[in-house]
């Protein structure tokens, strides 16, 4: 096993951080740069240095406040984008970086949250730091043919600020996470760069992202119906190969329920968070 040291990131690491991220996730360099401009601050990233350079890194973001229906709110840190150079994988380096990030996060907040990029990674995070699911999602996938003939709601684009206010109103009294300004700013950048938008749909709201021919709806909030008219309205605006729609489990929108956000929690917290907690759009 190679020797390595875990340390906070330094300004001279930034090109290597971008290279690690792009190699691991294939994201557009402009998106990575935008993320760095919004979130990369002192203490916001840990790296593993080996052979004189960063070979693994993970980010530590001030996360949303979690609001259960009753009781106090919970603060979170969102650990994000764990990336390791292929030549240094399977040596425990990435695991060590994540554990260090989770430990640092729990020194700052009630919960250290992480969203695995795929179902195969949930066991890794659960084993690495005792993470457990604290948020579930209802997810459905539609083809254009499945949406033909569905009556469409009236869709109107709205600003990120108006979306924030409407989201808060719809979710009031339910367990949910309040997105901070920088989260909205990064989502807005993704929409401006790759397509999508924030929409009002007969009083409901949805965030929409285009991704290489796939229309993703990371947040559909419809408290009064099954959401199909909203989804049909989105499909009418955004032709796509398929539509992937996420919504809270406490609404009657379509889809299968699965774990979403994981977290390591402070043991002193008064009981677990409700399993129907809605995290919202996130950067998985």
For the segment 185-205, what is each residue's pLDDT rounded down to a tens digit?
999 998 999 999 999 999 999
Domains of the chain, by residue range, sit at: 5-135+260-265, 137-257
Backbone φ and ψ of 127, nearest 5°: -75, -35
Longest dimension (CA), the chain: 61
Q: CA-CA distance, 50 to 161, in Å (whole number)?
A: 43
Pair type for strands 65-67 and 214-221: unpaired
Task: Choose the weakest-confidence range: 45-49, 68-72, 145-149.
Answer: 68-72
Q: What does pTM read for this prediction?
A: 0.90
Q: CA-CA distance, 233 to 43, in Å (whole number)?
A: 43
Q: CA-CA distance, 118 to 116, in Å (whole number)?
A: 5
Q: In Å, what is the CA distance from 178 to each residue of 46, 65, 168, 181?
A: 25, 5, 8, 10
Asked whether the CA dihedral 141, 147, 152, 156 is positive or negative, the reply is positive
Residue 146 makes CB contacts below 8 A (sequence gap 6+) with none
Q: CA-CA distance, 117 to 25, in Å (whole number)?
A: 9
Residue 250 and residue 217 in contact, taking contact as beta carbons nearer than 8 Å: no
Pick from 13-22, 122-131, 174-183 the range whose average pLDDT is largest: 13-22
- At 67, the pLDDT band (50, 70, 90 cuts) reads confident
Residue 276 makes CB contacts below 8 A (sequence gap 6+) with 136, 174, 175, 248, 249, 250
Backbone φ and ψ of 27, nearest 5°: -70, 155
Q: What is the mean pLDDT of residues 240-263?
A: 95
CATH architecture of 137-257: 3-Layer(aba) Sandwich (3.40)
Closest CA to 260 of 105, 138, 123, 162: 138
Q: Please tell me if the domain spanning 5-135+260-265 has the same topology as the one spanning 137-257.
A: yes
Which fold would CATH assign to domain 5-135+260-265?
Answer: Aminopeptidase (3.40.630)
Q: CA-CA distance, 241 to 238, in Å (whole number)?
A: 10
Task: Choose the weakest-confidence range: 18-22, 250-254, 261-265.
Answer: 261-265
Closest CA to 227 of 137, 136, 140, 135: 140
Query: For residue 157, what pLDDT is reported?
Result: 97
């Amino acid at each position: 096993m190679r020797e390595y040291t875990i340390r906070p990131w330094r300004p001279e690491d930034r090109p290597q951080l971008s290279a690690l991220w792009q190699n691991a996730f294939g994201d557009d360099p402009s998106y990575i740069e935008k993320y760095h401009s919004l979130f990369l601050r002192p203490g916001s990233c840990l790296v593993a240095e080996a052979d004189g350079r960063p070979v693994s890194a993970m980010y530590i973001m001030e996360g949303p406040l979690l609001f259960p229906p009753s009781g106090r709110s919970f603060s979170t840190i969102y650990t994000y984008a764990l990336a390791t150079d292929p030549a240094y994988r399977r040596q425990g380096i990435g695991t060590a970086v994540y554990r260090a990030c989770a430990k640092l996060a729990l020194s700052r907040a009630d919960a250290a949250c992480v969203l695995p990029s795929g179902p195969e990674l949930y066991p890794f995070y659960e084993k690495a730091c005792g993470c457990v699911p604290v948020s579930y999602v209802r997810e459905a996938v539609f083809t254009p043919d499945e949406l033909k003939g569905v009556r469409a709601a009236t869709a109107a684009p709205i600003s990120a600020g108006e979306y924030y206010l409407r989201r808060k109103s719809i979710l009031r009294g339910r367990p949910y996470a309040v997105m901070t300004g920088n989260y909205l700013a990064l989502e807005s950048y993704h929409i401006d760069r790759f397509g999508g938008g924030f929409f009002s749909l007969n009083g409901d709201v949805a965030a929409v992202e285009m991704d290489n021919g796939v229309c993703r709806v990371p947040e559909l909030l419809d408290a009064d119906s099954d959401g199909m008219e909203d989804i049909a309205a989105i499909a009418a605006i955004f032709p796509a190969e398929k539509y992937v729609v996420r919504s809270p489990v406490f609404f009657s929108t379509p889809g299968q329920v699965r774990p979403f956000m994981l977290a390591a929690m402070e043991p002193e917290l008064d009981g677990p968070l409700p399993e129907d907690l809605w995290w919202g759009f996130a950067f998985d």
